[in-house]
Every structure is written in structure tokens, then in C-alpha cells.
Homo-oligomer: A and B are copies of this chain.
Amino acid sequence: MSVRVHPAAKRIYFFDEGNTSRDLLGGKGAGLAEMTAAGLPVPMGFTITTQACLQYYEDGKRLSESFQEQLREAIAELERRTGKRFNDPEAPLLVSVRSGARVSMPGMMDTILNIGLNDETVEGIARLTNNERFAWDAYRRLIAMFSTTVYGLDKDLFEEPLERRKDELGVKNDPEVDADSWRALVEEYKRIAAQHTADGFPQDVNEQVTRAIEAVFNSWHSKRAIDYRRYNRIPDDLGTAVNIVQMVFGNMGDDSGTGVAFTRDPNTGERVLFGEYLYNAQGEDVVAGIRTPVRISDLERTQPHIYRQFVEIAQRLEKHYRDVQDLEFTVERGKLYMLQTRNAKRSAEAAVRIALDLVNEGIIDRATAVGRVDARALDQLFHARIDPNERFAVAAKGLNASPGAAAGRVVFDADEAVAWAERGEEVVLVRVETTPDDVHGMIAARGVLTAKGGATSHAAVVARGMGKPCVAGCEALQIDRRNKRASLAGAEFGEGDWITIDGTTGNVAVGKLRLIPPPAKLPERLATLLEWADAQRRLEVWANADTPEDARKARDLGAQGIGLCRTEHMFMQRDRLPVVQEMILANTPEARATALTRLLPFQREDFVGILEAMAGLPVTIRLLDPPLHEFLPSLETLLVETTELRLTKGIDSPDYQLREAVLKRVQQMHEQNPMLGLRVCRLGILYPEIYETQVRAIFEAACDLVQRGIDARPEVMIPGVGSIREMQVTAANARRVAEEVLRERNCRLSYHVGTMIELPRACVIADELAGEAEFFSFGTNDLTQTTYGYSRDDAENSFIPRYLEQRILPDDPFQILDRKGVGALMQLAVEKGRSSRDDLKIGICGEHGGEPSSVAFCEHIGLNYVSCSPYRVPIARLAAAQAALGVLE
């Protein structure tokens, strides 16, 4: 939700002004204001609004005069309240500058502490605290933090002199460094800053603040922040707020310290205070992992009153926000200060448990609980995971580009991946980045790890399309292709060594970790949550399944029908393919009919299995869809083979002649653009015997079941209809054959004949089509292809990654339904279809049917059901409920 910018509006709110708008103040600012209002111990300070950030960009990255005026006033007010002043060695005011957007985001500048120190005030602090070590330590921290975040200098520039100094002193930890050493380091840091930047570290505190604010604003448009927003579908026009908070110090002795805590365990959801505390340290030390923190419960032993106060505050905050809180706090000389409260990020498993517990504790109602779990995150639960009992070192972390875990032997080359996989090895393809030339290797691999590239890189887009785990942009990965070796933040490995990647978290480990396959049944707590979701949703959730096993799985996961049963997969099976090829290569309708007659029992058997698995529920069977040459040997292979036979065995050899005859036929059937060629219902019109055989198999199967007392509910779906006569002719044939079978078998059965809407023209003439079709099912994969004019096979492998990177497209339209284009055509089809048949049942069976935002769109335009792959059924159930509740747009 975007905020309109008014140039001269109020841009700054003190924490105690009573404004708690997250849109305006960001998450952190709103939390500080709410805690202040609740009387909790919060340092003094104020928040610069998100509108100030938007104004900054509107003004061409300049802080406006009116804003600077407000800032001066706010600082003066803070000085009045604290009795301290910027640049005043007698009573220096120190602050932290903390970014805080509406949703917290990695990639944005986080925090600069100790702003207010300069060559003069540092002496004042030393005097006032009577702690020279502390003062110079704080100052060197400021210079380093300022230089890295505001100027973007490399951290190592500052780490190295410190490490050198510690070596000289023969000490290991920062607290052992003495005051003089810190003072000397400050001089060195200032030199480094001056050397690598135009202006050096600014002595004027007002300039420190201004520069820090600008750095926060700029970080809103950093590449990583943009990537993160794109991947998480966060709009770009929200802007970030900035908080200016009076410093409190956790590093003023053993009665001081700093901590982070969650009100419940964010991994499991268990109701225990979960957190870490570091004595005598500033916040950044916790994050930096320089010293090992203790469990927060340790405080109960050392500072029981602080611990009790904190526990009480944590509970109040959780109750106030009705959700698990993620807290930051500091203890300064025995006094507790709350620095942040926000809704905690949590694993999918924890999210489900917490939602259930909060309902059971009477804190939220079921509908709220349903809205609390990110439907996208459920996906994690249905991919392979690293066994939580595995103890392992994370060698490095990359971008969680495509979920699921994979373990395999390392290969550095796509051809090698194929070669190893053909020997029966499980491999993980490890590349600097992937290109279209690597796709065969990606297909052969269990997972993909790349050193470069973000969530929209080729590797990420293609892996997601394939449903394969991928960790992308793992910057610690160094590859030495020539020697087939690589290193991962120090860990060395070579071709054939095992690694394990976790595309859900981005973790990479060297070695072969135990993986847990996705559960076959719904975990109990999730089942309960989804029952609550079911009570909220209007949309039905069906599944796409081509086999009885998949149908059973789908039903177990809550599918209310089969929205798409593809019959071509049945044709592809090893024992049937020769018959299918015979059918295709037939020269006469009679020869074709003979081959089809042999296929009929196979098809019938398939349908018996699926209809039985779904007894009592509708099973939508799509008649043959792909171009026939998909069932024939590849033209390219045949060209090479016949050329070889011609040169080795000669033109008169039977081997050559046989192969050449097949080549001729395949060439005849070859199409420039098979996606737009002789396929879908066009097949059924040119070769009516194919569809008739399929319909016969469907109804013979249904009759078999009905006569065994099983409630079979077949629905016949005609693919790729673009003109009314196609619908009329194929539907009439289907109904005729169905009635014939029912008569022959003396069987009664209710069934429907409908169509896939997968061509723009079908959307435009949907009113006519609905006169014949008893249901519609949007085939959004094909509809996306034709609406955009993109071939998915070609596009995802070539220009879509580049388009996402260059922001030509906001999303891959094959992953996330394109509402503006494809969606508009769908909406037209819904309106037109229902205008001629009120009770027209309309669903979606493209892959979008299991993607939450797309499900929400389907709810908005009033579809009857979404259909998706079995493992996505839970996601769709939850998303449908959230869409109905209005919490998923």
C-alpha cells in the first residue's frame, strides 16, 4: 500500500506522540511507540516517517529544506529532554540510527550505533563514564560501522587492523583490548576512512546523523533489497522509516549486556521464551557472533529482577500484539531498555503450531489463525528436508532459490551431470551460474548450487520450474573448474564428493546429510489448521493427477476432485508407446482404429484406478492434448542415425531403409511450432477415432465401477477449443459415444462434457462456448503462452530470467498468474460464460492453481475451484481461505 507524498507534511514523530501507524513509522518505529505508550522502558527518540523517504526519492535523493528544519527541531527537542547535546563534550548526546520499513527486509542498512562520538565528545564520554576503554571502543565501533554502512567500505579494512592489534597484544577477545590500543585503532580507522573516501569520517555530529539517514534511505533501493521485495511480492513504493534513538550501553560492565529473544521457539513453535544474551556487549556483537552468547535463562541466575521484568514485558507484548514477538533489549548498569518488538519470523512448522496454540489459549480466533500462516511457506513441509536430528556445520549460506533439500555428488559440468546420473549416481550440479546450455545437466541433477545470481537468475527460475532444490548466489563458493575442485568458505571438495543443499533455507553443507522425504499424510496440527481453513473458504480445491497413486495422495491431502487427469502420460508408458506409435504411423483410419482398439484396455484400466480412488468425487479427464510427434523418436536423432546407416551400411540396406521410412514419417509430422500446431481438439477433429476411443475407455471404466457399486463421476474435458464448432463437434461425439456405452452396459451415470479455456479466442467467445460446454477449466499455462506469445520451454530458459533481472516483468508469469493480461482475459471468460449459463462450473488447472497469489485471484473472479498438483493442495486450501478472509490479496 503506497502513501501519497505531501512535500511539507509532518515527517517526524517522537515515540511518545501516540502515533503508532506502521505504514508511516515502519515496524520498528511503531513498536517503539507502542511500547512507550504501554509504559515500557524505551530509550527516548523519534521516528522519521516512510513519507520522508519517498519525498527524498521524489526530490532526486535530496533531503528537503522543510525536512531538515523538522530534523533540527526534533534533535533540539531530544537534547532538551535528555539534557544532553550533540557535539557537547560536557554532556554529549549519543544516538543510534536504525532503519525500519513496514516489513523488515534483509539487504537494507540496519543500524549505526554510537552516533555522536567525535574526537572531542569521546573524551567527554570517557570522563563521564569514568571508562576510557569503553569510550574509545565505542568510538572505533562508530567509525567502522559508519564507514562500512554509509560509505560502503569493506568490513575487512577495519577487521584486519583489529586482528593485528589483538595478535600483538596476545589476546583473543575484544574486551581484553585496552584503552590505548582502542585509541590507536581509532586513529588508524580515521586514516583508513580518509584514504578510501572523499570526506573521511565526519567530526560534525549533525552531519553524522544526516549521512546516516541518507544511507538508510538509499538502502531501500539497494539491489539486494529490490531482489528481496520482488521475490516476496512487496511493493517498491512503501519506503523505509528511520529511528533516532538515544544510546543505551550494554557494554558498560558485567551488570550490562544485550539480548534478542522470541516469546516462543521460532523453529518449533513451542511455548518457551527463546533467546540469547551477551554480557557486557553492544547489540552488534550478538549479530556478529564474535563471542558466544548464553541462553537468556542465564539472566535468571545473574540478574533475577531483570529477568522477571523482561519475562513479564515479553508476555505483555505477545498478548498486546496477539502474536509471537521478536524482541531486542539492552541492560545498562542493571537497568532494562526495550529496543525493538516485532512479530517473529518463524518456520512453517512453528507457524502452524503457534497459530493453533494461540487459538487454544484464547488469544486469537480460528479465522485469525488461518490468516497467520504464510501459504507459500507450507511448501517447505512438502519437500525433502534435512533430518532435524542431523548435527552438521553450515559451510555457507546462499539464496534460498527453489525449496527442498538435495544431497548428491558434486559435478561441475552439465555433461558430467548427465554422465554421472546415467551411471545411477545422485549428483548436485555446482556452477558459477547456469545458462541455457546447462539445462540438460539440471534435469539430470538432484539439485543446483550456484555462486552467482539472485532469485531471478537462470538457475533459480529454471530450478523452480522443474521443482528442484536450488541454492543460488552462494558467494562463498569458489570453483576451480580446470581441476574440478571447489571451496566453500574454507571447506574444500572436488568432483564426486558429497554435498547437501537446502533450497528452503539457503544452507549448504559439505558431506551427505540424511534427508527426510515429504510426508505422505498431513501432519496432525496442519490438518487441524486446514480444517479451520476449509470452514472459511468458498473455493473448492481439486488436484491434477494422472495415476491412481497421485489421486489417492491428493485425496489424502484434501482434494475435492480431480481437475486435470492428463491422458497423454498414459500413452507414454513403456509397454504402450509402441502401440501408440503404430496408431500414429497408421496410413488409414482403419489401421488407426485397430491400434486404438489395442490401446483401449490400457486406458480403461487407468481410468478404473483413478475413478475408484476418487469415488464420489468428480474426475476431469482431458482428452489427448499434445502434438502426436511427441510420441515418436526425435527428428534430430533420426537424422543422425539415418546418415550413419547410409554411410556405413549403404542406401540399399534394410536397416537404412527401415530407419529412413520412420524418418520420412516423422519429417511429415514435423511442425515449425508444435505448440501452435496439430494438437488439442484439432487432433480429435482430424482423427475422431482417437477421442472416441478415449471416451469409450472412460465410460467403460465408469460402468465397470458403477456396476460394482462404486460412485464413479467422470467429466470429459476437451482441450484447446478456440471456435464454437470445435466444441460442438467434439462434445457431440463425446456424448454420442458415452451414451452408446451406457446403453450397451445398461448403466446410468451422470457426467459432464466441458472444455479447457486456454486460448485467448476461447475467452472472447466464452459465451458461445458455454452454450455447449458444461464446465470451463482455465489452462493457464497455455493461456499464458498465447497471451504473451511466449513458449514456456524457450522463454524460461532464455529471456525470462533476463526479463526478471532487468525488471521488464515483475514475475515469471508461468509461476505467478499475470492478472493484468491473462487474468483480464480470464475475467472476461467468466463473465461471458456465466452470461449464457448461470450455473457454469469454472475452475483452473494450470500450475497457477496451487500458487497463493494466483489462488487469491481465482477467488476474486469467482471461480468454483482451483486444481493443482497433490502436494500443493494444502497450500491452495489455506490460500483459498485467506483469500476469502481478505488477508491474501
Contact = CB atoms under 8 A, between A and B. Distances in A.
Question: How many monomers of this protein are in the complex?
Answer: 2
Contact of A639 (B636, B675, B824): B636
A765 B820 contact: yes
A808 B685 contact: yes
A808 B723 CA distance: 8
B672 A761 contact: no
A674 B803 CA distance: 18
A290 interface: no
Given A673-B674, A723-B788, A758-B789, 5 more contacts: A673-B675, A676-B789, A677-B791, A729-B806, A760-B789
A787 B808 contact: no
Interface in A700-731: 720, 722-723, 725-726, 729
Contact of A644 (B647, B680, B685): B647
Contact of A643 (B437, B643, B671, B760): B643
A824 B643 CA distance: 50
A335 to B, nearest CB: 53
Interface string A347-358: 000000000000
Contacts of A672: 674-675, 791, 793-794
Contacts of A761: 787-789, 818, 821-822
A682 interface: yes
A820 B760 CA distance: 12
Interface string A497-533: 0000000000000000000000000000000000000
Nearest 5 pairs between A and B by C-beta?
A: A676-B791, A673-B791, A761-B821, A760-B760, A677-B794
B722 A798 contact: no
Contacts of A807: 725
A798 B825 CA distance: 28
Interface in A145-159: none
A803 B760 contact: no
Interface in A624-683: 635-636, 639-640, 643-644, 647-648, 668, 671-678, 680, 682
A795 interface: yes
A37 interface: no
Interface residues of A, number: 60
Nearest to A790: B676
28 contacts: A636-B636, A639-B640, A640-B643, A643-B643, A644-B647, A672-B793, A673-B794, A675-B676, A676-B785, A676-B791, A676-B795, A677-B791, A678-B799, A682-B799, A685-B808, A686-B802, A723-B808, A723-B809, A725-B809, A726-B808, A729-B808, A759-B788, A760-B760, A760-B825, A765-B820, A782-B789, A786-B787, A786-B789
A579 interface: no
A406 to B, nearest CB: 27
Nearest to A820: B765
A436 interface: yes
A685 B761 CA distance: 28
A63 interface: no
A569 to B, nearest CB: 19
Given A640-B643, A789-B786, A798 B678 contact: yes
A41 to B, nearest CB: 49
A815 to B, nearest CB: 15
A247 interface: no
Contacts of A798: 671, 677-678, 686
A764 interface: yes
Given A644-B647, A676-B794, A726-B808, A786 B802 contact: no
Contacts of A725: 807-809
A726 to B, nearest CB: 6
Contacts of A678: 794, 798-799
